[in-house]
């Protein structure tokens, strides 16, 4: 398993209390946050197992989902559903992980 895939599972766990808090105010936003975060984990794992260019597609989907999850985190804080501090770590991880995913998509 790639380290980023393992890290994504830890990240997903860190997101759960955030989307549970968000759900008290906006169930749809919480669902979108959860779904995009889970998509990162699943697509990274699937990308590890694919060959022939298909891994690039899965890593690309994970890349997009990480960006989406990051924006949902920032939106939840902007709306006052959670604090800026609560989303800072998970949002930073998503941003840094996207750099790794970019490298995975464009490796030789």
Structural domains of the chain ordered from first start: 3-105 (1.20.1440.60)
The predicted model scores a pTM of 0.94
Contacts of 97 (CB under 8 A, 6+ apart): 4, 7, 8, 11, 40, 66
pLDDT digits (tens, 9 = 90+) for 42-90: 999 999 887 777 889 999 999 999 999 999 999 999 999 999 999 999 9
Q: What is the pLDDT of residue 108?
A: 64
Residue 44 token pair: 């990274």
Residues with Cβ within 8 Å of 17's Cβ and at least 6 positions away in sequence, in order, are none
Query: Helices marked H in the chain — which ranges?
Result: 3-23, 27-49, 54-78, 84-105
**Tokens matching residue 27:** 């169930």
CA 6 to chain centre: 13
Please tell me whether residue 106 adopts helix, strand or coil conformation. Answer: coil
What is the rounded distance in angstroms from the CA atom of residue 106 to the CA atom of residue 79?
A: 36
């Amino acid at each position: 398993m790639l380290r980023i895939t393992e890290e994504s599972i830890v990240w997903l766990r860190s997101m759960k209390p955030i989307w549970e808090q968000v759900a008290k105010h906006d169930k749809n936003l919480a669902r979108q946050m959860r779904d995009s975060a889970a998509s990162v984990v699943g697509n990274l794992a699937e990308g590890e197992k694919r060959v022939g260019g298909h891994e690039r597609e899965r890593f690309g989907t994970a890349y997009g989902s990480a960006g989406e999850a990051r924006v949902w985190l920032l939106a939840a804080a902007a709306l006052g559903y959670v604090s800026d501090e609560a989303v800072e770590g998970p949002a930073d991880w998503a941003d840094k992980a996207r750099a790794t995913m970019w490298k995975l998509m464009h490796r030789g």
